[in-house]
Amino acid sequence: MAHITGKKIALLTTNGVEQPELTEPVAAIKEHGGTPVIVSPEEGQIQAMKGDWEHADHFDVDVTLDAANPEDYDGLVLPGGTLNADTLRIDENAQKFVKAFFDAGKPVAAICHGPWILTEIGAAKGRTVTSYPSLKTDLLNAGAEWVDDSVVVSNGLVTSRTPDDLEDFNREFLNLVSDE
């Protein structure tokens, strides 16, 4: 398995994030020697969800989005959760932050509703992706080829459908970030 010792990985998220889509990548990053950093437009804490309706745990924000510099990170994870993803995709600062990773050729991973922001910044165009099924039309309209697979790797982007795919998602993202 990939080792990412010394690598800093940003996880861009806000209130409404699907809890396992945040906690499982954080655990995988730590397990393989990396440092996960929760970046959010919110200060203090964010509210995670179980599905779209049930409140789950709160998580501390490590760096606010306005203070985060994409140059400080070796990769980016975009967890899902409908409320989280819908909020971030229309946030101009979030768009600029995500776009900077693509412009720099750094690995990006988006799961479930996380790929929604890709439609706003032109990063879906020309890539093969997957997502939660309700995003299929948006991603197709943004120029992506959409497939129904547990994980897809396309030009530095890892995408997955749901929390059920997290094992594959984490493995492929860590492989991209790894120097091995």
Tokens of 130: 């997957």
**Rounded Cα–Cα distance for residues 22 and 37 (Å):** 11
Alpha-carbon separation of residue 83 from 21, 39, 95, 126 (angstroms): 13, 16, 16, 26
Tokens of 40: 């959010």
Point out the catalytic residue in the list 32, 55, 58, 112: 112
DSSP for 35-69, please give it.
EEEEEESSSSEEEEEETTTEEEEEEE-SEEGGG--
Q: For this structure, is 55 an active site residue?
A: no
Tokens of 169: 């998602």
Alpha-carbon separation of residue 61 from 38, 69, 120 (angstroms): 5, 15, 24
Tokens of 81: 């959760």
Point out the catalytic residue in the list 3, 32, 58, 113: 113
Task: Tell me which residues are annotated as active site.
Answer: 112-113
